[in-house]
A = this chain, B = another copy of it.
Amino acid sequence: MVNVGIVGVGLVGSELLSQLKATGAKRLKVVGLTNSKKMVLSDTEYSSLSLTEWKNDLENGVPADLAVFAKYLSEAKDHSVIVDCTASDAVAQLYPSWLKAGVSVVTPNKKGFSGPLSLYNEIRSVAANLGGSGKALAYHESTVGAGLPVLATLSDLVKTGDEIETIEGIFSGTLSYLFNNFSSLSGGNGAPFSENVKVAKELGYTEPDPRDDLNGMDVARKVTICGRLAGVDLDLSTLAVENIVPEPLQGVSTADEFMAKLPEFDDHFTKLNEEAKKDGQVLRYVGLVDVKGGKSGVKLIRYPGSHPFASLQGSDNIIKFTTKYFPNGLIIQGAGAGAAVTSFGIYSDLLKIQERVEGF
């Protein structure tokens, strides 16, 4: 039996609890839950918390204290895992201490794996699956492409001696949606770029301030994570990232002002799109890990209509590994955002840990 503590019970954390409940996960036992205010821990026997009444129980819980939370989990007789469902930097900084205390980590939070190299190095010096010497594991499949098997596949390629040349992908559901609609050889939806951003915002596909998508930092984090697993110690602060927010709008203070002024720059995007179309190409916003060539980065580039990236639909992600074993590419494609698929990735990671800890 493996104990599970969940930090952050918003959309993803709640969905994980639903999936665990629906499947009656026999060898995983939720024994702790916390959000930023309240916390509930099980008894000294580490009995399972109620997966039906957890909301109530949490509301009536004690004040949140992550140190107490982690200590409780680390003192269990059975192996414990903390699932970090926040997007918090501060929580990510606790991973090394948890791992050192023998508690595994599973998370969709990109901060620990794409932040300062020093933090990442601390994590991988302990986590056994990342080459560390500790008795705990750190799995983070859902940090890239949500539940798509991107990192598991990359890790298998690396461990079996494949040589990764490039990892190229449309890593952002938001930017996938925007450019699939704006730039397609069948004409796209014909609406100007700003109109596409507006619709995506209204549908809830963008961050509250769409500049947080368009500045490329989310994609840059995913590129950094993939790069590090592939053996290139990319650093967010030096990665070449093309911010497609028009420069004069990068400094405006509110999202509303940005949205109001974006139409003034539609001509720029229309021109790029028309030029591409003339050559039978489309625009896509991609992240690239270039293992040998050093051209890793995030940029808006063109693809011919026959390329798999050109025919992408909806808000799908697509990731292509080009390697010694797969010179023509191994491609993984599908929904890369949303609570259900993110939680699927977390749940898969939990099962990997459970199987590894329990053996048979």
- Chain A interfacial residues counted at CB < 8 A: 49
Q: How far is the CB of A137 from chain B (nearest CB, A)?
A: 8
Among B22, B314, B326, B351, contact of A156 (Cβ-Cβ < 8 Å): B351
Among B329, B331, B335, contact of A328 (Cβ-Cβ < 8 Å): B335
Residue A189 is within 8 A (CB to CB) of chain B in the complex: no
Task: Assess the A330–B334 pair: CB atoms within 8 A.
Answer: yes
Q: Which residues of B contact A147 (CB under 8 A)?
A: 325
Task: Assess the B360–A135 pair: CB atoms within 8 A.
Answer: yes
Task: Assess the A149–B159 pair: CB atoms within 8 A.
Answer: no
A: residues with CB less than 8 A from B are: 19, 22-23, 128-129, 134-137, 147-149, 152-153, 156-157, 159-162, 186, 306, 308, 311, 313-314, 316, 324-326, 328-335, 340-341, 344, 347-348, 351, 355-357, 359-360
25 contacts between A and B (CB under 8 A): A19-B160, A19-B161, A22-B161, A23-B159, A23-B160, A23-B161, A129-B355, A134-B360, A135-B360, A136-B360, A149-B152, A149-B332, A152-B152, A156-B348, A156-B351, A160-B351, A306-B311, A313-B328, A316-B328, A325-B341, A326-B334, A329-B333, A329-B334, A331-B334, A356-B356
